[in-house]
Each structure stands twice: as C-alpha cells, then as structure tokens.
Amino acid sequence: MKKIKILLLAVTLLGGTSAFAQQNWNAGVGYTTTSFNGTDCSQFLIKHPLRGFYAGVSHEFYFSALAGLTFEPGLYFVYQTGRNDAEMKPKYIKMHYLSLPLDVKYTFNIVEGATAAVFTGPVANFGIIGNVFDKGTFETNKDPLDMMHPLTRANVQWQFGAAFTIAEAVQLRVSYSLGLSRLIAEQEIHNNSFSIGAGLLF
C-alpha cells in the first residue's frame, strides 16, 4: 500500500495536463575555463588554468505540480588547452571530454517576455582524448621527487549557475563547478570550472 501511495504521488508530480513546456531543448555554446587546486597540487597547475569552449544540448523535464521547477540533464563536448612549461614538451596541454550535468532548475518571470533561473546539481566529466591523460606530460604534484602523473579520465563536480531567457528563444547562462573528486588517485588535486555562453531553445 505504501509503495502504491508513493507511485501515485510521483505520477501526480510528473503528470497533469502538460508535463512539458513548448521549449524543452537548449542547444548551447560558450567559453569555459578550468583551474586546479589542492594540498598536493603543483604551483604550475595552480598558475596555469586551461581555457576553451563547450558545445552541446540540454533537455528540461517539467514537474507540472511544481510551477517553475524542472530537471535539466545535458550532454556537452568540452575542449580546453593551456601552455606547458617552457622547458617541457608538448608545448600545449590539451583536454577533450564529455560533460554530463544533472541540474535541478527553478525559473521565474522578471519582466514580460523574459525569465530568470537558478540551477544546481552534480556534473560527471569523462575524458576522451588529450595529453592531460598521458604519463609524464606536465608537473602535477608539488613533491619534487614525484612530479608528473596523468589525470584521471573521470571526475565529478557540483555546479551552481544562473540563466536569463529572452522571448522564450535565446538563453544566456553562467555557471561555476566545484571539483569533488580527486584528479589523481590518493592526491588532493581538484578542478574548478567556470563557463559562460548562450543557447537557442526549441
């Protein structure tokens, strides 16, 4: 009986006359940068953030019984790069990865024809290619006897952000993600990311 009540509650929240709004998809591009920190992080990594761009899509699932509240998963391709130490090869550090944000979003009206939103949730990142995943490429650890390690291909962050939508067609977004998982096993090195961009709703 208890399970049935829980199921009915879920159907009520997700159901209704219109569980989805007209604009469910957002195709977006923008600028992104990643900085590194942690007690084991080398000064080189701390002083050399990676910069690049992102491109991808997200989809909003609307809870009809909770006005303005949505669940917004997405999938983005991210490319970032930065200069390596002048005495080391390769000349540039590069990272290509897929980013999967899973945000809870709250949207509200600000003026006629425009809305604002705040969102937060976990982000899973999966490295595809790039020399950041190669052993001995650049200085990662502040220990002079153990300085170079490849970064892990998977990491988790927690994202906070805001969005501004005009005429239900164009959306401006800004977000900041805090690194939760270690980029190198058994070492306190984390990545924080900032991004800003625009998207088209359809």
Please provide the CATH number assigned to the domain covering 18-201: 2.40.160.20
> What's the token pair of residue 44?
């080189």
pLDDT per residue rounded down to tens, the chain (202 residues) = 454 444 444 444 444 434 434 458 999 999 999 999 999 999 999 999 999 999 999 999 987 667 889 999 999 999 999 998 777 788 999 999 999 999 999 999 999 999 999 999 999 999 999 999 999 899 999 998 889 999 999 999 999 999 999 998 999 999 999 999 999 998 999 999 999 999 999 9
State the residue for tokens 């800004």. 174
CA dist 173 and 28 (Å) reads: 9
Closest by CA to 32, choosing from 72, 77, 75, 74, is 77
Cα distances (Å, whole numbers) of residue 108 to 19, 69, 80, 114, 116: 17, 9, 33, 9, 6
Closest by CA to 79, choosing from 45, 26, 126, 32, is 32
What ranges do the domains of the chain cover?
A: 18-201
HEC sequence for the chain: CHHHHHHHHHHHHHCCCCCCCCCCEEEEEEEEEEEEECCCECHHHHHCCEEEEEEEEEECEECCCCCCEEEEEEEEEEEEEEECCCCCCCCEEEEEEEEEEEEEEEEEEEECCEEEEEEEEEEEEEEEECHHHCCCCCECECCCCCCECCCCCEEEEEEEEEEEEECCCEEEEEEEEEECCCCECCECCEEEEEEEEEEEEC
- Give the global pTM: 0.85
